[in-house]
């Protein structure tokens, strides 16, 4: 295996399978993107993603929640030079401080995201990149159970399922590129590039992984670990089933969107 391929394994051994697959796909994108220091990681959580995706410490990780930051400090304190607890709309940094910023699967969880984008623009230097990813406008459409309900004429039940799945995913935004372009421009940034990822089949794997991953949720509640036996033998079937989705080409339409923006 190459180091890039091993991104899947490095996520699967620590995370529920559905989340490990998604994070591995996203981590692979960052391998080809320059992120000059100092780097801001907005919504760093427990620092697991940055620890896997980057082979160097980043300047600053910020998150509003105490438990994941406590875990980041305990387990991955070398991932960031600085860890700070703060809301995205009130960052504790001076103007034009960072040379780049990233936010991996975070902005969709923020009800009012516009002030956060404006604050990111404030702390970025002119011309600095902001890289982020979010669910796309196809996320709900690609869910398998709601699609099945629609096929048998149960449209109301399909819409209820979509709303429920969006709620347990804590999504406030599942929007396409034009919506995000408008938000970025209002914040003083311009959209340079974006692409879809995660095919309908990959999203179905993620969707059913939520249900099949209930034992992992129980294990985490009892032990603090998602995977009790993170060995190749224990995870061989899981890895074999998910690797094709990790290796798939970028689809024309995907359940998620990856953005590269730049501060004006």
Q: How far apart are CA 127 and CA 188, in angstroms?
A: 11
pLDDT single digits (tens) 14-54: 999 999 999 999 999 999 899 999 999 999 999 999 999 99
User: Tell me, what's the pLDDT at 5?
Assistant: 58
Q: Are 126 and 264 in contact (CB under 8 A)?
A: yes
Asked whether residue 231 is assigned to any structural domain, the reply reads: no
pLDDT at 3 over 60: no
Provide the pLDDT confidence category of residue 218 given band limits of 50, 70 and 90: confident
CATH value at residue 53 = 3.40.50.150
pLDDT at 149 over 90: yes
Supply the pTM of this predicted model. 0.94
User: Tell me, what's the pLDDT at 212?
Assistant: 86
User: Tell me, what's the pLDDT at 127?
Assistant: 98
Total structural domains within the chain: 1
pLDDT-above-70 percentage for the chain: 98
User: Tell me, what's the pLDDT at 1?
Assistant: 44
Asked whether residue 187 is assigned to any structural domain, the reply reads: yes
pLDDT at 2 over 60: no
Query: Any alpha helices (H) in the chain, and if so which ranges?
Result: 6-12, 17-30, 48-53, 66-75, 114-123, 144-151, 155-168, 177-187, 200-212, 214-223, 232-247
Asked whether residue 131 is assigned to any structural domain, the reply reads: yes
pLDDT single digits (tens) 175-203: 999 999 999 999 999 999 999 999 999 99
Asked whether residue 132 is assigned to any structural domain, the reply reads: yes
User: Tell me, what's the pLDDT at 96?
Assistant: 98
Asked whether residue 64 is assigned to any structural domain, the reply reads: yes
Asked whether residue 25 is assigned to any structural domain, the reply reads: no
Distances from the Cα of 11 to the Cα of 19, 54, 90, 116, 151, angstroms: 8, 13, 31, 28, 35
Asked whether residue 229 is assigned to any structural domain, the reply reads: no
Asked whether residue 108 is assigned to any structural domain, the reply reads: yes
Sheet of strand 39-42: strand arrangement: 80-85, 58-63, 39-42, 98-104, 124-135, 256-263, 189-197
Q: What is the domain range of residue 127?
A: 33-136+174-199+248-264
Distances from the Cα of 173 to the Cα of 88, 141, 143, angstroms: 16, 14, 16
Mean pLDDT of the 44-65 span: 95
């Amino acid at each position: 295996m190459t180091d890039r391929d091993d991104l899947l394994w490095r996520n699967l051994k620590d995370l529920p399978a559905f989340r490990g697959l998604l994070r591995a796909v996203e981590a692979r994108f960052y391998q080809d993107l320059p992120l000059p220091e100092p780097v801001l990681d907005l919504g760093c959580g427990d620092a697991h993603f940055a620890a896997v995706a980057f082979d160097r410490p980043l300047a600053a990780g910020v998150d509003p929640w105490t438990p994941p930051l406590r875990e980041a400090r305990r387990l991955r304190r070398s991932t960031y030079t600085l860890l700070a607890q703060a809301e995205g709309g009130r960052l504790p940094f001076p103007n034009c401080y960072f040379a780049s910023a990233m936010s991996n699967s975070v902005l969709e969880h923020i009800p009012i995201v516009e002030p956060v984008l404006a604050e990111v623009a404030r702390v970025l230097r002119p011309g600095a990149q902001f890289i982020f990813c979010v669910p796309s406008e196809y996320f709900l459409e690609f869910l398998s159970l709601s699609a099945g309900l629609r096929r048998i004429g149960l449209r109301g039940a399909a819409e209820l399922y979509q709303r429920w799945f969006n709620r347990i995913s804590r999504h406030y935004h599942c929007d396409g590129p034009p919506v995000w372009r408008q938000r970025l421009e209002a914040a003083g940034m311009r959209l340079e590039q974006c692409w879809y990822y995660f095919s309908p089949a990959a999203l179905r794997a993620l969707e059913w992984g939520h249900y099949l991953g209930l034992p992992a949720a129980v294990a985490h509640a009892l032990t603090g670990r998602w995977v009790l036996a993170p060995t190749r033998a224990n995870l061989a079937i899981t890895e074999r089933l998910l690797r094709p989705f990790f290796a798939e080409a970028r689809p024309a339409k995907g359940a998620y969107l990856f953005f590269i923006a730049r501060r004006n």
